[in-house]
């Protein structure tokens, strides 16, 4: 399968590339990036061809592309790929507005190409174990979830002398769509919909910028309450609350309360701690299952099998609806109904 990556703006592109280069049935044709310095840097790092435009890469008769641009730029890149007849795996959130997210879905349907939203947590081994436990019925009635998807303020870069690697667009509302709510609510919103096979009917949220207020203009803290059609409720702490010297960019945890027991999950628990004087802080190196690898395998298999992927564009739209409702709730201090 011939694959390319459109943009390295999102830090996940690096991991996707590393995974794909190890997949025996995948040929990474190349990459394209509107930031040529960034593109040249990663083309050299991964020893792949850098194309001088997105159109040039798409002209290489690709089977699929991964869109890893800034959130607000997903729609035009997906449109380019769909018009070229290329299947799409699009980074989350699918778009910064519900209208753009739905447009992405409609464009891909019209073009007859597969669209998958990048929700790798569905392919986490520990997340899959919780899914099995829920589906087995052993827990009885599910009452609620307490969840977190916290992280450090997204200021990822690789050296002060390489400003083109700085990912400060994460805190630019025009490019990202918002702050912590946009960045971290979507993963858990999708997981909970998947677990419960039920839709969110009400969202209540509050946000603040107590942390890092002097640095950014978007919200850095958020608590989102979700009520599902089946009566289950969930809390989502999506804050950028980890200190800059924290060992990793973030993590995802869950506590499930049910009739017959309690189940807890820490999706990033399988790691080795490395203490580095050179870097000046400890680092976590994961040794467990790779959820990104599972997600990429699903995308490749769905394209090869000409079938709908396990995570769809519609799932991305639903997550966008929840994020939009959270912002509306935070602005009005009132719960928002979803239909």
Tell me the CATH architecture of domain 121-289+312-337. Answer: 2-Layer Sandwich (3.30)
- Say what the pLDDT of residue 294 is: 96
The beta strand positions in the chain, using DSSP E, are: 2-6, 27-32, 50-51, 64-67, 87-90, 115-117, 142-151, 200-208, 221-228, 233-237, 250-258, 261-266, 271-276, 281-286, 336-337
Can you give the three-state secondary structure of 33-86, one letter per residue? CCCHHHHHHHHHHHCCCEECCHHHHHCCCCCEEEECCCHHHHHHHHHHHHHCCC
C-alpha torsion 318→321→327→331, nearest 10: -140
3-state secondary structure of 123: helix
- Say what the pLDDT of residue 288 is: 76
User: Which residue ranges make up each domain of the chain?
Assistant: 2-119, 121-289+312-337
Report field, pTM of the whole predicted structure over 0.85: yes
- Say what the pLDDT of residue 156 is: 60
Q: Which residues of the chain have pLDDT under 70?
A: 156-161
- Say what the pLDDT of residue 326 is: 98
- Say what the pLDDT of residue 213 is: 83
Q: Which residue has the tokens 């049935």?
A: 25
Q: May I ask the CATH class of domain 2-119?
A: alpha beta
The percentage of the chain sitting over the pLDDT mark of 90, rounded to a whole number, equals: 82
- Say what the pLDDT of residue 163 is: 73
- Say what the pLDDT of residue 161 is: 64
């Amino acid at each position: 399968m011939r694959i390319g990556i459109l943009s390295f703006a999102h830090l996940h592109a690096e991991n996707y590339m590393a995974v794909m280069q190890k997949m025996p049935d995948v040929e990474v044709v190349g990459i394209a990036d509107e930031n040529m310095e960034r593109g040249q840097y990663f083309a050299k790092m991964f020893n792949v061809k850098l194309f001088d435009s997105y159109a040039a890469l798409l002209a290489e008769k690709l089977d699929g592309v991964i869109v890893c641009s800034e959130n607000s730029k997903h729609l035009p890149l997906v449109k380019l790929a769909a018009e070229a007849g290329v299947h799409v795996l699009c980074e989350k959130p699918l778009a910064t507005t519900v209208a753009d997210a739905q447009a992405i879905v409609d464009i891909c349907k019209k073009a007859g190409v597969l669209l998958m939203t990048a929700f790798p947590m569905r392919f986490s081994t520990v997340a899959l174990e919780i899914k099995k436990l829920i589906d087995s019925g052993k827990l009885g009635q599910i009452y609620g979830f307490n969840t977190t998807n916290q992280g450090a303020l997204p200021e990822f870069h690789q050296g002060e002398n390489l400003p083109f690697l700085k990912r400060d667009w994460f805190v630019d509302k025009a490019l990202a769509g918002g702050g912590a709510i946009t960045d971290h609510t979507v993963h858990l919103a999708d997981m909970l919909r998947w677990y419960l096979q039920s839709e969110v009917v009400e969202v209540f949220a509050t946000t603040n910028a107590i942390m890092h207020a002097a640095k950014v203009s978007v919200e850095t803290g958020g608590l989102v309450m979700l009520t599902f059609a089946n009566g289950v409720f969930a809390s989502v702490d999506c804050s950028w609350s980890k200190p800059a010297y924290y060992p990793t960019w973030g993590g995802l945890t869950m506590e499930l309360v049910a009739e017959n027991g309690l189940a807890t999950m820490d999706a990033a628990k399988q790691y080795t701690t490395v203490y580095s004087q050179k870097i000046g802080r400890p680092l976590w190196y994961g040794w467990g299952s790779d959820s990104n690898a599972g997600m990429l395998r699903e995308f490749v298999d769905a394209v090869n099998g000409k079938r709908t992927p396990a995570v769809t564009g519609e799932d991305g739209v639903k997550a966008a609806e929840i994020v939009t409702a959270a912002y509306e709730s935070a602005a009005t201090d009132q719960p928002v109904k979803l239909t």
